[in-house]
Structure 1
Amino acid sequence: MKSNPFLSFSKKPPQLSSLSTKSLTKQILIALVFFMAFSYSSFSYSQNLQTISSNTNEVDKIEITEAYPNPATYYIQFDYRMTDRNSEGKITVYNLLGSVVGEHRLNNYDNRIQISVDNLKAGIYFYTISINNKSLITKKFIVKH
Structure 2
Amino acid sequence: PTHSPVNNNIVYLPLDLTVGIENQYASASFEVSQNMPNPATGETMIMVNTEVLGPVNLTLSNVLGQVVYRTTENANHFGSHTFKLNVSNLEPGIYFYTVEIGEKAVTRKMLVK
TM range, smaller chain: 0.5 to 0.7
Pair member with larger Rg = 2
TM superposition outliers: structure 1 runs of 4+ over 2 Å: 53-58
Larger RCO of the pair (alpha carbons < 8 Å, separation 6+): 2
1:58 and 1:88 map into 2 onto residues whose CA distance is: 18
TM-score, scaled to structure 1: 0.54
Greater percentage in strand: 2
2:71 corresponds to 1:104: yes
TM-score, scaled to structure 2: 0.67
Q: Could you give the per-residue CA deviations for residues 18-40 of structure 1, whole angstroms, max 9, x where no partner exists?
A: xxxxxxxxxxxxxxxxxxxxxxx
Could you tell me which amino acid in structure 2 is paired with residue 122 of structure 1?
P
Show structure 2 runs of 5+ residues with no match: 1-18
Aligned residue pairs total 93
RMSD: 2.9
Contact 1:128–1:135 (8 Å) recurs in 2: no
Show structure 1 runs of 5+ residues with no match: 1-49
**Residues 137 and 81 of structure 1, relative CA distance in 2, 3 Å threshold:** closer
Q: Could you give the per-residue CA deviations for residues 37-88 of structure 1, whole angstroms, max 9, x where no partner exists?
A: xxxxxxxxxxxxx67139889611x233111110000122112233122x32
